[in-house]
Amino acid sequence: MSIAVLLAIAAMITAGFWQLHRLSERRDRNSTITGRSQLPVVQLQDLVGVGDAYDSGDELEFRPVRATGVYQPGDQVLIRNRSYQGSAGYWVLTPLRLQSGEVVAVNRGWIPHGAGTGATPAEFAPPAGQVEVIGLVRATVTAAGLQQADPSSGVLTEMARVDLARLSQQIGGPLLPVYVQLQAQSPPEGDLPVPVPAPDLGEGSHLAYAVQWFVFATIAAVGYPLILRRLGRPGDRDREAEVG
Protein backbone atom coordinates (compact mmCIF):
# COMPACT_ATOMS: atom_id res chain seq x y z
CA MET A 1 0.00 0.00 0.00
CA SER A 2 1.48 3.37 -1.02
CA ILE A 3 2.48 5.98 1.50
CA ALA A 4 -0.06 8.45 0.06
CA VAL A 5 -2.94 6.06 0.65
CA LEU A 6 -1.75 5.27 4.18
CA LEU A 7 -1.58 8.98 4.97
CA ALA A 8 -5.05 9.51 3.54
CA ILE A 9 -6.45 6.67 5.66
CA ALA A 10 -4.76 8.06 8.77
CA ALA A 11 -6.19 11.51 8.04
CA MET A 12 -9.72 10.13 7.61
CA ILE A 13 -9.51 8.14 10.85
CA THR A 14 -8.23 11.24 12.66
CA ALA A 15 -11.11 13.28 11.26
CA GLY A 16 -13.58 10.64 12.44
CA PHE A 17 -12.26 10.67 16.01
CA TRP A 18 -12.21 14.49 15.99
CA GLN A 19 -15.90 14.46 15.11
CA LEU A 20 -16.56 12.03 17.98
CA HIS A 21 -14.66 14.37 20.31
CA ARG A 22 -16.80 17.29 19.14
CA LEU A 23 -19.91 15.18 19.75
CA SER A 24 -18.76 14.43 23.30
CA GLU A 25 -18.19 18.16 23.92
CA ARG A 26 -21.65 18.95 22.54
CA ARG A 27 -23.29 16.35 24.79
CA ASP A 28 -21.44 17.65 27.85
CA ARG A 29 -22.54 21.21 27.06
CA ASN A 30 -26.14 20.12 26.50
CA SER A 31 -26.10 18.31 29.83
CA THR A 32 -24.77 21.43 31.56
CA ILE A 33 -27.39 23.66 29.94
CA THR A 34 -30.22 21.29 30.82
CA GLY A 35 -29.10 20.86 34.43
CA ARG A 36 -28.56 24.57 35.12
CA SER A 37 -31.64 25.86 33.30
CA GLN A 38 -33.90 23.59 35.36
CA LEU A 39 -32.75 25.09 38.65
CA PRO A 40 -35.15 27.41 40.50
CA VAL A 41 -35.24 31.10 39.55
CA VAL A 42 -33.17 33.17 42.00
CA GLN A 43 -32.32 36.83 42.41
CA LEU A 44 -29.41 37.72 40.15
CA GLN A 45 -27.51 39.42 42.97
CA ASP A 46 -27.60 36.20 45.00
CA LEU A 47 -25.29 34.68 42.40
CA VAL A 48 -22.92 37.45 41.32
CA GLY A 49 -21.61 40.83 42.39
CA VAL A 50 -19.70 43.71 40.84
CA GLY A 51 -16.42 42.60 42.43
CA ASP A 52 -16.53 39.17 40.79
CA ALA A 53 -14.24 38.38 37.86
CA TYR A 54 -15.64 38.36 34.34
CA ASP A 55 -14.88 34.66 33.94
CA SER A 56 -17.20 33.87 36.86
CA GLY A 57 -19.99 33.80 34.29
CA ASP A 58 -18.66 30.51 32.92
CA GLU A 59 -19.79 28.70 36.08
CA LEU A 60 -23.17 30.46 36.16
CA GLU A 61 -24.24 30.35 32.52
CA PHE A 62 -27.84 29.27 31.89
CA ARG A 63 -28.93 29.69 35.50
CA PRO A 64 -32.45 31.22 35.57
CA VAL A 65 -32.52 34.55 37.42
CA ARG A 66 -34.77 37.45 38.27
CA ALA A 67 -33.74 41.12 38.26
CA THR A 68 -35.75 44.26 39.01
CA GLY A 69 -34.76 47.73 37.90
CA VAL A 70 -35.07 50.54 35.38
CA TYR A 71 -33.68 50.38 31.85
CA GLN A 72 -31.05 52.90 30.70
CA PRO A 73 -31.91 53.28 26.98
CA GLY A 74 -29.27 55.98 26.56
CA ASP A 75 -26.57 53.34 27.16
CA GLN A 76 -28.14 50.78 24.83
CA VAL A 77 -25.84 48.97 22.37
CA LEU A 78 -26.63 46.83 19.34
CA ILE A 79 -24.74 43.56 18.84
CA ARG A 80 -24.36 43.17 15.09
CA ASN A 81 -24.38 40.14 12.78
CA ARG A 82 -27.07 38.19 14.63
CA SER A 83 -29.60 36.06 12.78
CA TYR A 84 -33.11 34.87 13.54
CA GLN A 85 -34.93 32.33 11.36
CA GLY A 86 -32.53 33.05 8.51
CA SER A 87 -32.82 36.85 8.68
CA ALA A 88 -29.92 39.15 9.58
CA GLY A 89 -30.13 41.73 12.33
CA TYR A 90 -28.94 42.75 15.77
CA TRP A 91 -29.29 41.85 19.41
CA VAL A 92 -30.49 44.73 21.58
CA LEU A 93 -28.33 44.98 24.70
CA THR A 94 -29.88 47.38 27.21
CA PRO A 95 -28.38 48.12 30.66
CA LEU A 96 -30.80 47.68 33.56
CA ARG A 97 -30.08 49.69 36.71
CA LEU A 98 -31.01 47.51 39.67
CA GLN A 99 -32.54 48.78 42.86
CA SER A 100 -29.15 48.36 44.54
CA GLY A 101 -27.55 50.78 42.05
CA GLU A 102 -25.66 48.05 40.21
CA VAL A 103 -26.21 47.64 36.48
CA VAL A 104 -26.71 44.45 34.47
CA ALA A 105 -26.77 44.24 30.68
CA VAL A 106 -29.93 42.59 29.37
CA ASN A 107 -30.10 41.00 25.93
CA ARG A 108 -33.68 42.01 25.21
CA GLY A 109 -33.76 40.12 21.91
CA TRP A 110 -33.35 40.37 18.15
CA ILE A 111 -34.36 43.09 15.70
CA PRO A 112 -34.04 43.08 11.89
CA HIS A 113 -31.43 45.21 10.15
CA GLY A 114 -33.78 47.98 9.09
CA ALA A 115 -34.88 48.63 12.66
CA GLY A 116 -31.36 49.22 13.91
CA THR A 117 -30.63 52.51 12.17
CA GLY A 118 -30.52 55.94 13.77
CA ALA A 119 -31.58 56.76 17.33
CA THR A 120 -33.48 54.21 19.40
CA PRO A 121 -36.73 53.71 17.47
CA ALA A 122 -39.95 53.55 19.45
CA GLU A 123 -40.73 50.14 17.97
CA PHE A 124 -38.07 48.47 20.11
CA ALA A 125 -37.59 50.98 22.93
CA PRO A 126 -37.58 49.42 26.42
CA PRO A 127 -40.48 50.00 28.82
CA ALA A 128 -40.19 53.09 30.99
CA GLY A 129 -40.20 52.79 34.75
CA GLN A 130 -39.52 49.73 36.86
CA VAL A 131 -39.49 46.32 35.19
CA GLU A 132 -38.94 42.77 36.35
CA VAL A 133 -36.82 40.63 34.07
CA ILE A 134 -36.58 36.84 34.11
CA GLY A 135 -33.93 35.20 31.99
CA LEU A 136 -30.78 33.12 31.77
CA VAL A 137 -27.34 34.15 32.96
CA ARG A 138 -24.88 34.43 30.10
CA ALA A 139 -21.11 34.93 30.19
CA THR A 140 -19.13 37.73 28.60
CA VAL A 141 -17.63 37.11 25.15
CA THR A 142 -14.25 38.40 24.03
CA ALA A 143 -12.42 38.32 20.70
CA ALA A 144 -10.53 35.07 20.17
CA GLY A 145 -8.00 33.90 17.62
CA LEU A 146 -8.08 36.05 14.49
CA GLN A 147 -11.27 37.86 15.52
CA GLN A 148 -11.01 41.64 15.63
CA ALA A 149 -11.82 43.25 18.97
CA ASP A 150 -14.10 46.25 19.21
CA PRO A 151 -12.38 49.68 19.37
CA SER A 152 -10.91 50.27 22.80
CA SER A 153 -11.90 53.92 23.00
CA GLY A 154 -14.94 56.05 22.32
CA VAL A 155 -18.63 55.41 22.89
CA LEU A 156 -19.82 52.48 20.80
CA THR A 157 -23.38 52.18 19.54
CA GLU A 158 -22.65 48.78 17.98
CA MET A 159 -20.40 45.95 19.10
CA ALA A 160 -19.31 42.69 17.52
CA ARG A 161 -20.02 40.65 20.65
CA VAL A 162 -21.20 41.03 24.25
CA ASP A 163 -17.85 42.08 25.68
CA LEU A 164 -18.83 43.28 29.15
CA ALA A 165 -15.40 44.66 30.04
CA ARG A 166 -15.58 46.92 26.98
CA LEU A 167 -19.20 47.82 27.67
CA SER A 168 -18.37 48.81 31.25
CA GLN A 169 -16.23 51.69 29.91
CA GLN A 170 -19.33 53.56 28.71
CA ILE A 171 -21.99 52.55 31.25
CA GLY A 172 -23.14 54.88 33.96
CA GLY A 173 -22.84 52.63 36.99
CA PRO A 174 -21.03 49.51 38.22
CA LEU A 175 -21.65 46.76 35.66
CA LEU A 176 -22.10 43.13 36.74
CA PRO A 177 -19.71 40.64 35.06
CA VAL A 178 -22.55 38.64 33.47
CA TYR A 179 -25.49 39.56 31.30
CA VAL A 180 -29.08 38.28 31.22
CA GLN A 181 -30.73 36.74 28.17
CA LEU A 182 -34.33 37.84 28.56
CA GLN A 183 -37.08 35.23 28.54
CA ALA A 184 -39.97 37.09 30.20
CA GLN A 185 -40.60 40.60 31.44
CA SER A 186 -43.19 42.55 33.37
CA PRO A 187 -44.47 44.80 31.87
CA PRO A 188 -44.03 42.82 28.63
CA GLU A 189 -42.21 43.93 25.49
CA GLY A 190 -43.92 44.67 22.17
CA ASP A 191 -43.35 42.71 18.99
CA LEU A 192 -39.71 43.84 18.93
CA PRO A 193 -37.21 42.82 20.07
CA VAL A 194 -37.89 39.10 19.56
CA PRO A 195 -36.52 37.14 22.56
CA VAL A 196 -33.46 35.08 21.67
CA PRO A 197 -34.41 31.39 21.62
CA ALA A 198 -33.08 29.02 24.27
CA PRO A 199 -29.81 27.30 23.30
CA ASP A 200 -30.11 24.51 20.74
CA LEU A 201 -29.75 21.15 22.48
CA GLY A 202 -29.38 19.13 19.30
CA GLU A 203 -26.26 17.03 18.72
CA GLY A 204 -25.61 18.37 15.24
CA SER A 205 -24.08 16.24 12.47
CA HIS A 206 -20.94 15.15 14.30
CA LEU A 207 -21.94 11.46 14.56
CA ALA A 208 -22.95 11.28 10.90
CA TYR A 209 -19.68 12.91 9.83
CA ALA A 210 -17.68 10.53 12.03
CA VAL A 211 -19.38 7.52 10.47
CA GLN A 212 -18.70 8.91 6.98
CA TRP A 213 -14.99 9.35 7.69
CA PHE A 214 -14.67 5.83 9.11
CA VAL A 215 -16.53 4.41 6.09
CA PHE A 216 -14.22 6.26 3.72
CA ALA A 217 -11.18 4.95 5.61
CA THR A 218 -12.52 1.39 5.45
CA ILE A 219 -13.19 1.65 1.73
CA ALA A 220 -9.66 2.91 1.14
CA ALA A 221 -8.06 0.27 3.38
CA VAL A 222 -9.98 -2.61 1.80
CA GLY A 223 -10.43 -1.36 -1.75
CA TYR A 224 -6.91 -0.21 -2.54
CA PRO A 225 -5.23 -3.61 -1.96
CA LEU A 226 -7.96 -5.28 -4.04
CA ILE A 227 -7.24 -2.89 -6.90
CA LEU A 228 -3.52 -3.62 -6.65
CA ARG A 229 -4.19 -7.32 -6.54
CA ARG A 230 -6.42 -7.14 -9.59
CA LEU A 231 -3.89 -5.12 -11.55
CA GLY A 232 -1.20 -7.59 -10.60
CA ARG A 233 -2.88 -10.69 -12.07
CA PRO A 234 -1.07 -12.18 -15.13
CA GLY A 235 -4.29 -12.35 -17.14
CA ASP A 236 -4.89 -8.70 -16.50
CA ARG A 237 -1.37 -7.80 -17.68
CA ASP A 238 -1.90 -9.88 -20.86
CA ARG A 239 -5.19 -8.11 -21.55
CA GLU A 240 -3.54 -4.76 -20.95
CA ALA A 241 -0.80 -5.72 -23.45
CA GLU A 242 -3.39 -6.77 -26.06
CA VAL A 243 -5.21 -3.52 -25.63
CA GLY A 244 -1.96 -1.65 -25.96
Buried b (16+ CB within 10 A) or exposed e, 162-174: bbbebbbeebebe
The answer to whether residues 78 and 132 belong to one domain is: yes
Query: Residue 197 falls within a domain, yes or no?
Result: no
- Evaluate whether 181 touches 138 at the Cβ level (below 8 Å): yes
Residue 212 class from Cβ within 10 Å (0-12 exposed, 13-18 middle, 19+ buried)?
middle
The answer to whether residues 66 and 18 belong to one domain is: no
What are the φ/ψ torsions at residue 143 (nearest 5 degrees)? -65, 140
Binned average pLDDT, 10 residues per bin, the chain of 244 residues: 84 93 89 90 94 91 96 94 93 95 96 69 86 97 90 93 95 92 93 88 87 91 81 58 50
The answer to whether residues 179 and 228 belong to one domain is: no
- The model carries a pTM of 0.79
Query: Residue 191 falls within a domain, yes or no?
Result: no
Number of domains in the chain: 2
Query: Which three-class secondary structure state does DSSP give residue 196?
Result: coil
pLDDT for res 129: 94
pLDDT for res 195: 92
Domain around 143:
39-186
pLDDT for res 234: 58
pLDDT for res 118: 52
Counting DSSP H helices and E strands in the chain, the numbers are 4, 8
pLDDT for res 52: 93
- How far from chain centre, in Å, is Cα 69? 27
130 Cβ neighbours under 8 A, 6+ residues apart: 68, 69, 70
